[in-house]
């Protein structure tokens, strides 16, 4: 809400500048800004039009004579709303309008000595139909800029938090400013005469309207508002329409009470305030027809709905230039109901915005009376207030709330004596008295939604006391229990490992679309967002590969073809979540010049391949203390099954890695030598108290790993023997390693040094084995015997194995 | 001519030859020529028999000395030649040290996790623990128990993503971790909870996913002053010792009183500039004293305990600190961006 500062000053005698006020408002909790209204434009003057005639030579142009009281001007205009006696703003020769200097200008054989101005040309509206016609009470021959307050008037804009509906009007702001600066607010009470000649026939048939007051005013003359009303509305960002409509808007801004004026003569019979019928139709002032539901509150006559309570008036009963008699409505509706309706029908009005944030039910009659007073003043001498009906079944009972000095001390941290507490609250117009251990307040209706508990008043006290001035202290924090720090550290260590090994961290959206899942031949994820932003953000991913492939594609768009990225993030399933690390690797990871003895420098490139990726993962697992794991061929739809593996620790699948399937690569347009992997780091439960250390997660195994204990350093030397085996091709290297390892206690280390194919079905595997006995030096003879026994055991375990050489 | 003179002459001759020698081969030849079994010294000594025992002894001494001298010269020269040869070999194998290197280029950490770690580490050093919760969160933990009932305008402040799982939403803030922690632990509680959150929003300053860090301290006698002190300490760690902070009363449903916390703009030192839009202050986080309704929802007696909570948007801090113009840059995975930091 934006209002002129001068309007606020009508309600509080304050001599501070708008800037000072705004600063204090911000410090005490209302977000406020200040700006100057427009810019002073020299050479603008108010003139009265003496005559208007059509331009004899030019279509659609008019020749006007206008006077400033001394001088008469000939003005050519295209606006057809200028009439004899209109008072308008004239930009004289030399005036700067939107960067253009007004000069004498010939239209045919006639000369124009200036230009009539619209609101748009003054920079006060985005569009305007025709010249701005000033009301008849406007003085003629005065400086237009000064009259409007251009470049002078300060406007204060307030952006409220949802609990401060009370500050959404001039009066409320004045109250707040008065409290801050400790100045009593002023207000002129109304005095209107209500005849009892025509009591409107209104009945209330819903519990969602707390108060409904209708007033009938006769013989209203619909015309433009006074200059003062128009200017206030324009400065507050509203467009003047006619006196009655302007006054309802004016009161809304000033008092915070939405009002609605019906053309009484268009209302058919009895008026009912009720819930809408399901499917009931309503043609609103915005020109749209809405279909209503039984939750909506409506005002209806015998022909149907004439207004959507608290939100928008109806087309059928709207006030127009022919209106004579009006019914002025002031009501208080249930804020939840208004909110629901406004949201469902997507209509937000100044009225609904205020109702949703709470309206002062108690000052409703006074606010409405102010409007009546203005209507009587501005809408003609013959008007009379024919009668009123105020339905207010359960009058407001102020809640009593105590504030204990002890609570203030416990929350804010300083001693504030009860007298001061009472003083602060009274300044806020919350009637408060002191009692033995604190204060007791009667909460006025305008804060009834916001102030419901002791703590709410404690905040008010601190706010006006000035939270910023209160000195800080530092709490003594109990020693942390390390419970989750260890996962935090685990994740950091994981991240560091991959970064140190040349992989770049990315963070991608957890959202994924159907398209990428189709391309990867994957079933759609469990979790679907029902109100997703776009189809690419429709699901919550259940793997990281889909996200990383999109990162690769994004980089390919920028011709970045070598890529090494990882992401640590969650994936989502119906009943749980997992934190995973995903990696995607493609292309060269080492490029450089190498030096050879023959003095030739040449470029080397090392490309990510299955074994490099395996090595990366293996050394990460080793870092975690996990050295015992098994690999099995992966059956993932998007991987090349011959170059990919699922990883098992203690029999549980902890992740996978491998090469992308060439068909998938082609479909999603990425390189075929792309490697992808995912490791499951941690189980994330949605249940309270569920043990998150589940099997199948690396963090679990990291936490469960045994602490190694010291073994004596070997005293006796180890002996190396090379062995070569001939086996069937179906026998894996790992199998041989495993069986070898199991076959002798003396084997300390086995390393592969050669492997080659003898024919299609047979291969030779050469290994180097380190033997060591911790008790003594091994003799050649002992080793020979050991090798014999090993080979014998191996032959039993592995069919077709032969020792070579 | 005596034998002595012959020997001295040989020495001079050997010395000259050694000096002239260019490689090990020549030295070997010199050695054979003078010191070998049929070498020249031996030849000279053959005529020793004709001499008296005293003379023989005398000449023998001279011959030995000369032999040693020549051996010494040969050794020195050999060492010299070896050094020269090594030098030549090293030079021949020399490398252009300005050549592009040959090793894994260290990867880059994402600015978000980097900043997140910095923040969390500060709180860990103050004694806070790390807490966590799922990103698909129970609606009541995300809203109701945080004092945000249905149809409360505050639910509008956070555009929620709903999912095909009744009673669950994508968490709109990290605050439900407060609820989870307080439901499972008794005070004193001191936690920070970093993580991803989701809101239905997309423009240069908003993405539908972003990161928050939640903090919560609950104990007896925790006051607003502790909140101010803790945040001041934290913000000065992140933004520098001279940073001033300002707490503006505001509104969050789960804290009362609530505060927006501003820091003095480091670009203009509070004078007002483009970064702070002339205000001299930058809004950095939201905070407040835990609302009694929240305590009641989790079964903590608000008459006995009090506490403060705060939540900060990590992206905002990163954008301010590194002057990043568009929040969406964080999530493309564009290496041209990632590798800048
Ligand atoms: Zn600045």
CA of A424 to the centre of ligand 1 (A): 34
Quote the tokens at residue B212.
Answer: 């928050």
B152, B202, B292 member nearest A455 (Cβ): B292
Q: What is the pLDDT of residues B62-105, one digit of tens each?
A: 888 988 999 999 999 999 999 999 999 888 878 778 877 788 88
Judgement on whether residues B196 and B262 belong to the same structural domain of the protein = yes
Residues with CB under 5 A from ligand 1 (ion): B 265, 267-268, 273, 275-276
- Name which of B284, B279, B256, B260 is nearest B268 in CA terms: B279
Is B100 within a domain? no
B115 or A483, greater pLDDT: B115
Tokens, residue A293: 């539901």
- In terms of Cα–Cα distance, which of A502, A645, A497, A494 is closest to A586? A502
Interface contact flag, B229 A472, Cβ < 8 Å: yes
SS3 A382: coil
All residues at 6 or more sequence positions from A16 whose CB lies less than 8 Å from its CB, including other chains: A24, A181
Q: Out of B63, B92, B121, pick the residue that ends a domain.
A: B92
d(C-alpha B288, C-alpha B261), whole Å: 10
**Is A402 in the B-facing interface, judged by CB distances under 8 Å?**
no
Residue B281 main-chain phi, psi, to 5 deg: -130, 150
Q: Quick check: is B104 in a domain? A: no
Domain annotation covers residue B162:
yes
How many angstroms from the chain centroid is the CA of residue A551? 25
Give the Cα separation of B63 and A16 in Å (integer): 118
Report the interhelical angle of A418-427 vs A170-181 (nearest 10°): 150
Beta bridge partners of A491: none
Same domain flag for B174 and B322: yes
Cβ contact A483:A474 at 8 Å: no
Burial of A587 (0-12, 13-18, 19+ CB in 10 A): middle
**Could you state, in chain order, the average pLDDT of each consecutive group of 10 residues for chain A (805 residues)?**
95 95 93 91 93 90 93 92 92 90 90 91 82 90 92 93 91 96 92 89 94 95 91 92 93 96 94 95 94 95 94 94 94 92 92 92 95 89 90 95 97 97 97 96 95 96 94 84 77 97 97 95 96 94 97 96 97 97 95 63 83 96 92 94 96 97 96 97 92 91 88 91 92 90 92 90 93 91 92 91 86
Clarify whether residues B174 and B316 are in a common domain: yes
Asked if the peptide bond before residue A246 counts as cis, ω within 30 degrees of 0, the response is: no
Residues B60 and B163 reside in one and the same domain: no
* B246 CA distance to ligand 1 middle (Å): 15
Query: What's the rounded Cα separation, in Å, for the pair A355 and A333?
Result: 7
Q: What is the mean pLDDT of residues B189-213?
A: 92
Where does the pLDDT of residue B110 fall: very low under 50, low under 70, confident under 90, or very high at 90 and above? very high
User: Do B81 and B116 share a structural domain?
Assistant: no
Are residues B159 and B188 part of one domain?
A: yes
Contacts 24+ apart (CB under 8 A), B52-55: none
How many angstroms separate the CA atoms of A684 and B280, rounded?
42
Ligand 1 centroid – CA B281 distance (Å)? 7
Nearest to B95 among A479, A485, A595 (CB): A595
State residue B154's pLDDT score.
67
Note whether A599 contacts B93, CB cutoff 8 Å. Answer: yes
Instruction: Measure Cα distances from A68 to A41, A133, A142, B306 in Å.
Output: 17, 15, 8, 70
Residue B1 scores a pLDDT above 60 = no
Same domain, B52 and B121: no
Which helix (DSSP H) or strand (DSSP E) does residue A299 occupy?
Answer: strand A297-301
Q: Is A599 on the interface with B (CB under 8 A)?
A: yes
Q: What is the dihedral of CA A298, A299, A302, A304, to 10 degrees?
A: -40
Same domain? For B27 and B152 the reply is: no
Tally A–B CB contacts below 8 A. Answer: 264
Closest-CA residue in chain A for B141? Answer: A686
Question: Which residue is closest to A685 within chain B, CA to CA?
Answer: B134
Q: How far apart are CA A262 and CA A271, in angstroms?
A: 11
The reported pLDDT for the residue numbered A597 is 56
| Whether residue B318 is found in the same domain as residue B264 | yes
The count of C-alpha atoms lying within 13 angstroms of the C-alpha of B291, restricted to the half-sphere facing its C-beta, is 23
Q: Is the pTM of this model over 0.95?
A: no
DSSP symbols for A103-136: --EEETTEEE-SEE--TTTTTS-S--SSS-PBPT
If asked whether residues B20 and B60 sit together in one domain, one would say yes
Q: In the structure encoding, which two tokens stand for residue A700, read together?
A: 């679990």
Last residue in a domain, options B92, B122, B155: B92
CA distance B234 to B219: 19
Q: What crossing angle do the helices spanning A243-255 and A227-235 adopt, rounded to 10°?
A: 50
With a CB cutoff of 8 Å and minimum separation 6, the contacts of B196 are A510, A569, A570, B135, B209, B210, B211
Chain B residues with CB inside 8 Å of A591's CB?
Answer: 100, 102
pLDDT for A702: 92
pLDDT of residue B280: 86
How many domains does chain B contain in total?
Answer: 2
Nearest to A410 among B208, B209, B306 (CB): B306
Instruction: Tell me, yes or no, whether B290 lies in a domain.
Output: yes
Residue B36 maps to a domain? yes
Kindly state whether residues B157 and B293 are assigned to the same domain. Answer: yes
Q: Which of B109, B246, B250 sits opposite A495 (nearest CB)?
A: B109
Classified as helix, coil or strand, A737 is: helix
Place of tokens 């804020």: A335
CA dist., res. A240 & res. A246, Å (int) = 6
Kindly determine whether residue A509 and residue B331, on different chains, have CB atoms separated by under 8 Å.
yes
Neighbours of A382 (CB within 10 A): 10
User: Taking CA atoms, what residue in A is nearest to B102?
Assistant: A592
Rounded CA-CA distance A264/A242 in Å is: 17
Distance, C-alpha A172 to centroid of its chain: 28
What distance in Å separates residue A516's CA from the closest CA in chain B? Answer: 16
- Nearest to B193, CA basis, from B306, B112, B311: B311
Nearest CA to B114 out of B324, B326, B325 is that of B324
Contact B333 A554 (CB under 8 A): yes
Alpha-carbon gap: A160 to the closest alpha carbon of chain B (Å): 9
Residue of B nearest to A477 (CA): B127
- Judged by DSSP in three states, A704 sits in helix
CA of residue A354 to ligand 1 center, whole Å: 34
Q: How far apart are CA A580 and CA A627, in angstroms?
A: 20
Closest approach of A59 to chain B, Cα-based (Å): 48
Question: In angstroms, rounded to a whole number, what is the distance separating the alpha carbons of residues A360 and A251?
Answer: 13
Q: How far apart are CA A774 and CA A787, in angstroms?
A: 18
Strands B189-198 and B129-130: parallel
Residues A95, A421: Cα–Cα separation, whole Å = 56
- Phi and psi for B296 in degrees, rounded to 5? -65, -40
Q: How far is the CA of A32 from the centre of ligand 1 (A)?
A: 18
- Domain containing residue B39: 3-92
The answer to the question of residue B102 being in a domain is no
Strand order in the sheet with A747-757: A747-757, A762-771, A719-728, A802-804
d(CA B67, ligand 1 centre) in Å? 89
In chain A, what residues touch B113 (CB-CB under 8 Å)? 495, 505, 507, 568
Q: Do B170 and A592 touch (CB under 8 A)?
A: no
Instruction: Tell me, yes or no, whether B105 lies in a domain.
Output: no
Nearest Cα of chain A lies from the Cα of B58 at a distance, in angstroms, of 56
Residues B309/B216, Cβ–Cβ less than 8 Å: yes
Note whether A564 contacts B: Cβ–Cβ < 8 A: yes
In a domain? residue B292 = yes
Q: What long-range pairs does B244-250 form, CB within 8 A, spacing at least 24?
A: B244/B270, B246/A27, B246/A468, B246/B281, B247/A467, B247/A468, B247/B287, B248/A26, B248/A27, B248/A29, B248/A31, B249/A28, B249/A29, B249/A459, B249/A462, B249/A463, B249/A467, B250/A29, B250/A31, B250/A161, B250/B286, B250/B288
What SS3 class is residue A695? coil
Same-domain pairing of B75 and B163: no
Q: How many CB atoms lie within 10 A of CB A707?
A: 5
Q: Could you give the maximum distance between any two Cα atoms of chain B, in Å?
A: 133
CATH of the domain at B268: 3.30.930.10
Q: Which of A475, A508, A510 sits opposite B333 (nearest CB)?
A: A508
- In which order are the strands placed within the sheet that holds A271-275? A202-204, A271-275, A297-301, A304-308, A312-313
Q: Among A548, A604, A596, which Cα is nearest to A571's?
A: A548
A422, A402 in Cβ contact below 8 A?
Answer: no
Task: Single out the residue in B59, B92, B125 at which a domain terminates.
Answer: B92
């Amino acid at each position: 809400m934006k209002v002129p500062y001068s309007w606020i000053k009508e309600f509080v005698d304050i001599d501070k500048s708008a800037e000072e006020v705004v600063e204090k408002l911000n410090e005490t909790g209302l977000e406020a800004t200040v700006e100057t209204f427009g810019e002073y434009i020299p050479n603008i003057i108010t003139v009265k039009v003496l005559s208007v005639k059509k331009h004899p030579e030019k279509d659609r142009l008019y020749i006007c004579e206008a006077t400033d009281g001394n001088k008469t001007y000939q003005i050519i205009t295209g606006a057809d709303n200028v009439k004899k006696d209109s008072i308008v703003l004239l930009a004289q020769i030399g005036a700067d309008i939107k960067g253009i200097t007004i000069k004498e200008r010939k239209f045919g054989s006639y000369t124009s000595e200036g230009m009539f101005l619209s609101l748009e040309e003054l920079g006060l509206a985005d569009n305007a139909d025709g010249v701005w016609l000033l009301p008849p009470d406007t003085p003629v021959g005065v400086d237009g800029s000064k009259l409007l307050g251009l470049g002078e008037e300060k406007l204060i804009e307030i952006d409220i938090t949802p609990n401060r509906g009370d500050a959404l009007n001039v009066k409320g702001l004045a109250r707040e400013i008065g409290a801050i600066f400790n100045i009593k607010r002023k207000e002129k009470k109304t005095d209107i005469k209500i005849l009892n000649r025509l009591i409107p026939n209104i009945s209330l048939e819903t519990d969602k309207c707390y108060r409904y007051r209708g007033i009938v005013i006769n013989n209203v003359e619909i015309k433009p508002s006074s200059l003062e009303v128009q200017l206030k509305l324009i400065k507050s960002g509203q467009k003047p329409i006619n006196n009655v409509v302007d006054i309802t808007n004016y009161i809304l801004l000033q008092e915070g009470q939405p009002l609605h004026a019906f053309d009484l003569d268009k209302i058919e019979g009895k008026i009912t305030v009720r819930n809408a019928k399901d499917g009931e139709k309503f043609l609103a002032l915005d020109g749209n027809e809405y279909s209503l539901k039984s939750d909506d509150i409506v005002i209806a006559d015998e022909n149907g709905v004439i207004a959507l309570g608290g939100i928008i008036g109806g087309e059928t009963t709207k006030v127009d230039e022919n209106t004579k008699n009006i019914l002025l409505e002031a009501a208080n509706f249930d804020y939840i109901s208004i909110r629901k309706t406004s949201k469902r029908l997507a209509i937000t009005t100044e009225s609904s915005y205020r109702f949703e944030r709470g309206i002062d039910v108690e000052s409703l009659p006074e606010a409405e009376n102010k409007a009546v007073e203005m209507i009587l003043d501005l809408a003609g001498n013959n008007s009379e207030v024919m009668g009123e009906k105020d339905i207010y079944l359960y009058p407001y009972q102020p809640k009593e709330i105590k504030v204990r000095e002890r609570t203030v001390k416990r929350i804010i941290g300083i001693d504030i004596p009860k007298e001061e507490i009472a003083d602060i609250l009274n300044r806020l117009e919350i009637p408060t008295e002191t009692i033995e251990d604190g204060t007791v307040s009667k909460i006025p209706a305008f804060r009834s939604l916001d102030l419901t508990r002791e703590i709410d008043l404690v905040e008010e006290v601190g706010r006006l006391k000035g939270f910023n001035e209160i000195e800080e202290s530092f709490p003594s924090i109990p020693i942390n229990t390390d419970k989750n720090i260890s996962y935090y550290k685990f994740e950091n260590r994981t991240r560091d490992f991959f970064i140190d090994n040349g992989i770049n961290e990315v963070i991608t959206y957890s959202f994924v679309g159907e398209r990428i899942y189709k391309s990867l031949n994957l079933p759609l994820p469990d979790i679907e967002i029902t109100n997703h932003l776009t189809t690419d953000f429709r699901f919550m991913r259940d793997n990281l590969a889909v996200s990383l492939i999109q990162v690769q594609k994004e980089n390919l768009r920028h011709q970045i073809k070598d890529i090494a990225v990882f992401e640590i993030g969650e994936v989502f399933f119906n009943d749980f979540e997992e934190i995973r690390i995903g990696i995607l690797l493609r292309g060269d990871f080492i490029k450089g010049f190498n030096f050879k003895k023959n003095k030739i420098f040449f470029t080397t490139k090392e490309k990510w391949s299955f074994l490099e990726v395996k090595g990366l993962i293996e050394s990460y697992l080793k870092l975690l203390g996990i050295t015992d794991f098994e690999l099995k061929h992966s059956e993932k739809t998007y991987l090349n099954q011959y170059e990919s593996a699922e990883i098992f620790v203690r029999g549980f699948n902890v992740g996978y890695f491998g090469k992308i399937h060439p068909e998938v690569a082609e479909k999603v347009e990425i390189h075929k030598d792309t490697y992808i992997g995912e490791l499951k780091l941690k189980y994330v439960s949605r249940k309270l108290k569920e043990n998150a250390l589940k099997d199948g997660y690396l963090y679990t195994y990291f936490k469960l790993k045994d602490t190694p204990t010291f073994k004596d350093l070997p005293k006796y030397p180890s002996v190396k023997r090379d062995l070569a085996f001939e086996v069937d091709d179906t026998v894996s290297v790992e199998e041989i390693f495993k069986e070898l390892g199991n076959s002798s206690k003396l084997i300390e280390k086995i390393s592969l040094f050669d492997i080659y194919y003898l024919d299609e079905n047979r291969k030779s595997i050469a290994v180097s084995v380190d033997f060591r006995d911790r008790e003594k030096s091994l003799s050649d003879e002992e080793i020979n015997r050991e090798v014999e026994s090993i080979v014998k055991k191996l032959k039993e375990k592995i069919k077709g194995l032969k020792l070579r050489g | 001519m005596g034998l002595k003179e012959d020997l001295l002459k040989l020495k001079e001759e050997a010395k000259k030859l050694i000096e002239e020698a260019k490689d090990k081969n020549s030295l070997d030849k010199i050695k054979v020529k003078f010191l070998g079994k049929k070498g020249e010294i031996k030849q000279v000594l053959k005529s020793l028999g004709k001499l008296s025992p005293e003379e023989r002894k005398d000449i023998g001494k001279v011959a030995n000395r000369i032999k040693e001298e020549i051996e010494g010269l040969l050794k020195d020269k050999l060492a010299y030649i070896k050094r020269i040869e090594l030098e030549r070999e090293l030079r021949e194998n020399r490398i252009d040290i300005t050549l592009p290197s040959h090793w894994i280029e260290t990867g880059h950490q994402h600015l978000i996790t980097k900043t997140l770690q910095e923040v969390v580490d500060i709180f860990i050093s103050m004694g806070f623990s790390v807490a966590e919760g799922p990103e698909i969160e129970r609606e009541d933990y995300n809203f109701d128990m945080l004092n945000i009932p249905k149809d409360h305008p505050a639910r509008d402040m956070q555009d929620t993503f709903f999912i095909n799982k009744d009673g669950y939403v994508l968490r709109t803030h990290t605050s439900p971790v407060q609820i989870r922690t307080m439901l499972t632990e008794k005070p004193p509680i001191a936690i920070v909870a970093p993580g991803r959150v989701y809101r239905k929003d997309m423009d240069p300053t908003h993405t539908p996913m972003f990161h928050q860090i939640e903090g919560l301290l609950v104990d007896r006698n925790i006051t607003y002053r502790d909140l101010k002190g803790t945040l001041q300490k934290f913000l000065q760690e992140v933004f520098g010792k001279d940073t001033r902070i300002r707490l503006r009363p505001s509104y969050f449903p789960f804290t009362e009183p609530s505060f927006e916390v501003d820091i003095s703009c480091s670009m203009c030192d509070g004078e007002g500039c483009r970064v702070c839009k002339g205000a001299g202050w930058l809004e950095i986080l939201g905070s407040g004293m835990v609302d009694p309704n929240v305590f009641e929802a989790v079964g903590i007696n608000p008459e006995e305990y009090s506490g403060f909570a705060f939540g900060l948007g990590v992206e905002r801090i990163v954008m301010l600190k590194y002057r990043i113009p568009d929040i969406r840059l964080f999530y493309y995975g564009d290496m041209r961006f990632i590798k800048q930091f």
